[in-house]
Amino acid sequence: MARTRPALAAVDHGRACRRRHRPDRRRLHACARRAHHARRAAGQRRPVRAGRRLAGAAARLRGQPERTGRPRAASAARRAGGGGQVNRRRFLGLGASVFGAGALAAVAAPSAVRLLAEGRPGQVLSSELELPPPFQVPLPVPPVLKPVGSDGTSDYYEITQQVAQLEILPGVRTEAWTYGGSFPGPTVATRSGRAAVIRHRNQLPVPSVVHLHGGHTPADSDGYPMDLLLPVGWDGARSIPGMPGMEHHAAGRCVTGERTNTYPGHQRAATLWYHDHRMGFTGPGVWRGLVGFHLVHDDEEAALPLPQGDRDVPLMLADRSFAADGSFAYPAADPTDPAVPGVTDDYMNGVLGDVILVNGAPWPRLDVDRARYRLRLLNASNARLYRLELDPQPSGGDALVQIGSDGGLLEAPVTHDTLELSPAERFDVVVDFSRYEPGTSVCLLNTLGTGRTAEVMRFDVSSRRVTDDATVPERLAAVERLDPDAVVATRDFTFRRSRGDGWTINGELFEPGRDLARPALGSTELWRFSSDLHHSVHVHLNHFQVLARNGDDPGPYDAGWKDTVGLRPAEAVEVLVRFTDYAGTYLLHCHNLEHEDMAMMADFVVE
């Protein structure tokens, strides 16, 4: 089993350089000089033993106020590589480039120590314009994408990735990167057992990668972060600025203009989503709008008397911040050069917006009948955690009846007064608004937020007379339980901040082509995830089942099939995963997108 290796960032960087540049002694010496400067910048301090602090940090995290701030302009010393920090532009361009070798290290050790001590899930980026009052904008529902063709086995779709000028804040124009000209993009609705063949055309100013999150997908359509779709008109043979060596390593992986992904549909009904997954740039890509729902339906779900039609509502929760001109604000490491990945030091632990968007609208409202509604909740935020509850609660509590998780319907409903969502998690819940009097306004709150981010949206209960035939049955679906006795291997994966500007799994920064596991096709394994801080762990290809948290029973939000699980500080979660249908290279990573972009990913190869 793989084990973590504690090390200073400078040491990590030196090792990475020796692996990557062994034949080139001049580059090795340059890396050694950078490592030397990093040690000096850190005062040659001994490594902080973060573990001693983590138990206390975990106890303090609940109710901890959010930090707020704005991006800091880089000083002349930092731009020159001085001022106690290695030249960030050169380092990040090398270490987090699309085909770099995972050398995000040797920078900002003091900021790493600060973040480990605070244990915070991110920092709020303050908007620079006046924000609208809440509950003024009607909730938009993304349109359902129509197929351009169908045959006996497959449905065919086309999506154009394009820049669009949208009105997100009332009266303000915002430039967004979109799927099909809207944010979120159009909802793809498919049937289990039928393939969805989706052709993407890239008319953005940057390369992109599309990942179907939660999709049971062949490797060549999974959205590996280096399988670039270059914009229309780009020369696929040329090197992309800030992505050294692309023309050598990208052979056969990059295409220009269009790419077709095939999703066979060999999975049960579930709430999935698709989003950008470009290496080093997933955070800004998603932040600027490259997200959309993908809903899978099947006969088992259709046979249940659950809410349908207008009472089956997808809700994409995404926080954002806005610049004075209405554009999306994002604390990029170098805002003048979009080829440089990463964020400024204060946002290394995640970027939190100060505007809560639902389906792309700020703090919207929805008129609802006195009836049951199915709410498909998705946390599409880069780093924000949500603890949701309704205010007021209905008499008797149990306001949120969970019927589904990442991988589809549960075996039986689970009731909650509050619901916690880590980034990329999905929960399907039923809310019975007939339990409220006509005219009641019911707020969906986020009790982990402060100020405006403590509010999400509002439901206004109508006085109309309606019929409601929907119910939540005591038994929802057949859910196979994975057998712990069938486990053939147990693997440990430790998610931890490096001593520099990177985030690691088992002490390693992501290096494409270097795998941390090689499970056999058809096998069942036990994977143990452990954390220093908050991490939202996502496994590609197959869903998993949570077996234990810190050696105890699974938590209240762990039921059913999952593909993403939230880890609190100093927590260990054990999951059972069975690898079925497809061999190839897939990813395990943190879905805090700033962590992901700063190398908290790992390959695993199913063989």
CB 233 within 8 A of CB 178: no
Instruction: Flag whether pLDDT at 281 surpasses 50.
Output: yes
What are the strands, taking DSSP E only, across 52-153? 67-69, 123-125, 149-150
The larger pLDDT score, comparing residue 33 to residue 470, is at 470
What are the phi and psi torsion angles at 248 (to 5°)?
-85, -45
Run of H or E residues at 54: helix 51-60
As a whole number of angstroms, the distance between CA 283 and CA 469 comes to 42
The set of residues, in sequence order, having a beta carbon less than 8 Å from that of 249 and lying 6+ positions away, is 99, 226, 512
How buried is 489 (Cβ within 10 angstroms: 0-12 exposed, 13-18 middle, 19+ buried)? middle
Mean pLDDT calculated for residue range 577-602: 98
**Which of 446, 471, 450 is CA-nearest to residue 458?**
446
**Quick one: pLDDT band at residue 80, thresholds 50, 70, 90?**
very low
Q: Determine whether domain 1-135+307-607 maps to CATH 2.60.40.420.
A: yes
Q: Are 178 and 290 in contact (CB under 8 A)?
A: yes
**Which H or E run includes 169?**
none
Q: What's the pLDDT at 340?
A: 86
Q: Is the pLDDT of residue 237 over 70?
A: no
What average pLDDT is seen over the chain?
84
- Judged against a pLDDT cut of 90, whether residue 249 lies above it is answered with no
| Whether the predicted pLDDT of 594 surpasses 90 | yes
- The partner residues of 166 in beta bridges, in order of sequence, read 174
Predicted confidence at residue 234, as pLDDT, reads 86
Cβ–Cβ < 8 Å for 426, 317: no
Ranked by mean pLDDT, the top range of 60-64, 81-85, 357-361 is 357-361
For range 561-587, the mean pLDDT: 98
**Secondary structure (3-state) at 96:** coil
Structure tokens at 306: 């659950």
Q: pLDDT by residue (tens digit) across 178-211?
A: 999 999 999 999 999 999 999 999 999 999 999 9
Residue 338 is predicted with a pLDDT of 76
pLDDT at res. 39: 38
Structural tokens at position 537: 């762990």
Q: What are phi and psi of 345, to 5 degrees?
A: -55, -40
Q: 430-477: per-residue pLDDT in tens?
A: 999 999 999 999 999 999 999 999 999 999 999 998 999 999 999 999
Distance CA 415, CA 6 (A): 42
Residue 149 has pLDDT above 60, yes or no: yes
CB 184 within 8 A of CB 360: yes
CATH class, domain 149-306, is mainly beta
Q: Would you say 576 and 487 are in contact if contact means Cβ atoms under 8 Å apart?
A: yes
In the chain, CATH 2.60.40.420 sits at: 1-135+307-607, 149-306
Task: Supply the pTM of this predicted model.
Answer: 0.83
User: CA dist 300 to 139, 191, 408, 478, Å?
Assistant: 29, 11, 11, 9
Give the pLDDT confidence of 493-537 residue by residue, as tens digits.
999 998 876 899 999 999 999 999 999 999 999 999 999 999 999
